[in-house]
Amino acid sequence: MLSTMQDEQLSLATLLRYAQSFQGDATISTWTGTGLRTTTYREMGADAARLAHALRALGIEQGDRVATFMWNNTEHMVVYAAVPAMGAVLHALNIRLFPEQLVYVANHAEDQVVIVDGSLLPMFAKYLPQLRTVRHVIVVNGDPAELTAPEGVQVHSWTELLAAQPDTYDYPILDEHAPAGMCYTSGTTGDPKGVVYSHRSNWLHAMQVISPNSMGFNGNDLVLAIVPLFHANAWGMPYAAMMVGASLLMPDRFLQPGPLLEMMAVAKPTFAAAVPTIWGGVLAALEAHPQDISHLHTCAVGGSALPPSMMRAFQEKHGVKLLHAWGMTETSPLGSIAHPPKGAVGDEEWAYRATQGRFPASVRARIVGDDGSVLPDDGKAVGELEVRGPWITASYYSPDGGEVDASKFDDGWLRTGDVGHISPNGYLTLVDRSKDVIKSGGEWISSVDLENAMMGHPAVAEASVIGVPDEKWDERPLVAIVLKEGSTAEPAELQGYLADKFAKWQLPEHWTFIDEIPKTSVGKFDKKRLRARYADGDLKVVTL
């Protein structure tokens, strides 16, 4: 017997048509530094059609890559809407990649067109001569004349290019497995690796984002997308917002705590998403300049571990719930998210909220031991997290179809490189990245746990823990501390602060004070560079 159901393809063209019609009143607002410029999904739809016509006229065919080099703003959303809908593939370039990586990924993806914010032209101008496949550059909110085009590259004005085009477009309905977008990992080792999302994966991921056991925002929300559109699809917010008619608030290039808070005072977003570093900065700014931000009911936080102290501070001082989440570029990115289970209150609730969260039905997860065996979900057995599901990658993009880093895949499962355990009721707790694990005398010490605890200390702005060689124990932890401005603290005092939270053998004896933790292009602690500085003798270490 066969199902009688329609073979309807999940398609971002359908999503765009829906958003611009039945959800056409929802808005996109972009901060200008002094105020908001606001359009509707209806207007986004008209501009998307104009862009699609313009790109067709520039020769963009189905499957061709169209790149962006942009902040989060209205025009970036237009590109998000138009490019996959017309059958092309959106490649949002990470403007914070190291130069050689940026050039590598644009060439590797064979980007044909790059759409660039005017404010980023000076930076982009340095890369352009090295981009081998780019034929057209479209400048948004800027002067194309500022860019000297290499031979064979045409530079266009977004406004002029779109002005001449019709405001409707006959988008094709593609097979749902057709490529829709791509993103590269920003790993600190080796070349960045590409992931190619499909219409199907983006659609299903958007349905999960709006689910009440994930972000769960709806048409009444104003969603502040701080996490960049070039960073793992802005955690899926663009398409999810289109799906429920949630309005969007875009900070453009104004990402410092002061401007962010100024924008929030004007726009009063109800939901937001960003990495912990941003929230840390906002929290510090609020201490200096109090402001009511209780219009934000929920903030999703991921990308790296969220210190519980920060979560408490936001909730208790500002009435804002931080929602801890785990994911990666390879997982679209939504993996798990930390809503506590029914009935959990007080300390139990906080304990659940400090985990990386619970997996939804679409993301299968398992913990695998060093020997490759699947470990029980007992909340204790520690190993590498492996996941699978309809929005999780099966491989890395290879232009010639060859295998890229096959070691990251295990019989259909993605090896995440994250180390942790899963409770019987599906909550993930990460203890480390597999490459950051500290093994002391044969036992694991969680750098993440030490960092989280250390960041609860009033004098500490940031803390990062790495393993350093030790003759007796193989490895021992070294804590790198960034003190808050005007604060002082001694290693012995800091170690004492950890004393009742860890076993004695886990307490770090090596300490260093630095001005800043080195960060990756997406703002994560770059422990590889920290380890290199240690190896080079570049850190002044105090040993207790």
Q: Is 77 in the site for a copy of itself (CB under 8 A)?
A: no
**Active-site position among 27, 30, 68, 185:** 185
Active site residue 439: yes
Q: Is 204 in the site for a copy of itself (CB under 8 A)?
A: yes
Positions in 418-447 near a copy of itself (CB under 8 A) = 424-426
**To the nearest whole angstrom, how small is the minimum distance from the Cβ of residue 19 to a copy of itself?**
8
Compute, in degrees rounded to 10, the torsion defined by CA atoms 90, 179, 272, 434: -110
**To the nearest whole angstrom, how small is the minimum distance from the Cβ of residue 65 to a copy of itself?**
8
**What does DSSP say about strands 541-543 and 510-513: parallel, antiparallel, or unpaired?**
antiparallel
| Stretch of residues binding a copy of itself (CB under 8 A), selected from 30-38, 49-57, 121-129, 395-403 | 395-403
Contact between residue 199 and residue 84 where contact means Cβ atoms under 8 Å apart: yes
Q: Is 539 in the site for a copy of itself (CB under 8 A)?
A: no
One symbol per residue from 243 to 272: x for binding a copy of itself (CB under 8 A), - otherwise; what is it?
xxx-x-------------------------
d(CA 10, CA 536): 52
* Bridge partners (DSSP) listed for residue 27: 40
One of 57, 265, 361, 544 touching a copy of itself (CB under 8 A): 361
One of 151, 152, 190, 342 touching a copy of itself (CB under 8 A): 342
Name the 3-class secondary structure at 54.
helix
**To the nearest whole angstrom, how small is the minimum distance from the Cβ of residue 204 to a copy of itself?**
8
> Which residue, 215 or 310, has its beta carbon nearer to a copy of itself?
215
Q: Is 91 in the site for a copy of itself (CB under 8 A)?
A: no
**To the nearest whole angstrom, how small is the minimum distance from the Cβ of residue 283 to a copy of itself?**
28
Active site residue 416: no
d(CA 89, CA 80): 10
Active site residue 408: no
| Stretch of residues binding a copy of itself (CB under 8 A), selected from 10-18, 160-168, 472-480, 526-534 | 10-18
Residue 493's contacts (CB-CB under 8 Å, 6 or more residues apart) are: none
DSSP 8-state assignment for residue 55 = H
Q: Other C-beta atoms within 10 Å of 204: how many?
A: 19
Contact between residue 389 and residue 363 where contact means Cβ atoms under 8 Å apart: yes
Amino acid at 141: N
One of 271, 396, 511, 534 touching a copy of itself (CB under 8 A): 396
One symbol per residue from 280 to 309: x for binding a copy of itself (CB under 8 A), - otherwise; what is it?
------------------------------
> Which residue, 24 or 259, has its beta carbon nearer to a copy of itself?
24
Residue 402's contacts (CB-CB under 8 Å, 6 or more residues apart) are: none
One symbol per residue from 127 to 166: x for binding a copy of itself (CB under 8 A), - otherwise; what is it?
----------------------------------------
Kindly tell me the burial class for residue 479, based on how many C-beta atoms sit within 10 Å of its own C-beta (0-12, 13-18, 19 or more): buried
**What does DSSP say about strands 413-422 and 427-433: parallel, antiparallel, or unpaired?**
antiparallel
One of 87, 144, 179, 333 touching a copy of itself (CB under 8 A): 179
Q: Is 495 in the site for a copy of itself (CB under 8 A)?
A: no
d(CA 413, CA 331): 11
d(CA 306, CA 275): 8
Residue 283's contacts (CB-CB under 8 Å, 6 or more residues apart) are: 310, 313, 314
Q: Vertex 139, ends 135 and 141: CA angle to 5°?
A: 175
Sequential DSSP letters for 453-480: HHTTSTTEEEEEEEEEEETTTEEEEEEE
H/E run at residue 101: helix 99-108
| Stretch of residues binding a copy of itself (CB under 8 A), selected from 16-24, 277-285, 378-386, 504-512 | 16-24
The sign of the CA dihedral 270, 275, 280, 282 is negative
Closest CA to 428 of 521, 530, 355: 355
Q: Is 450 in the site for a copy of itself (CB under 8 A)?
A: no
| Stretch of residues binding a copy of itself (CB under 8 A), selected from 143-151, 319-327, 360-368, 429-437 | 360-368
Q: How many residues are given for the chain?
A: 544
Active site residue 185: yes
Q: Is 168 in the site for a copy of itself (CB under 8 A)?
A: no
One of 212, 402, 458, 486 touching a copy of itself (CB under 8 A): 212
**Active-site position among 330, 386, 451, 462:** 330
**To the nearest whole angstrom, how small is the minimum distance from the Cβ of residue 17 to a copy of itself?**
8
Q: Is 276 in the site for a copy of itself (CB under 8 A)?
A: no
**To the nearest whole angstrom, how small is the minimum distance from the Cβ of residue 278 to a copy of itself?**
25
Total residues binding a copy of itself (CB under 8 A): 75
d(CA 111, CA 89): 9
d(CA 147, CA 484): 41
Q: Is 385 in the site for a copy of itself (CB under 8 A)?
A: no
Q: Is 197 in the site for a copy of itself (CB under 8 A)?
A: yes
Please give the positions annotated as active site: 185, 330, 439, 444
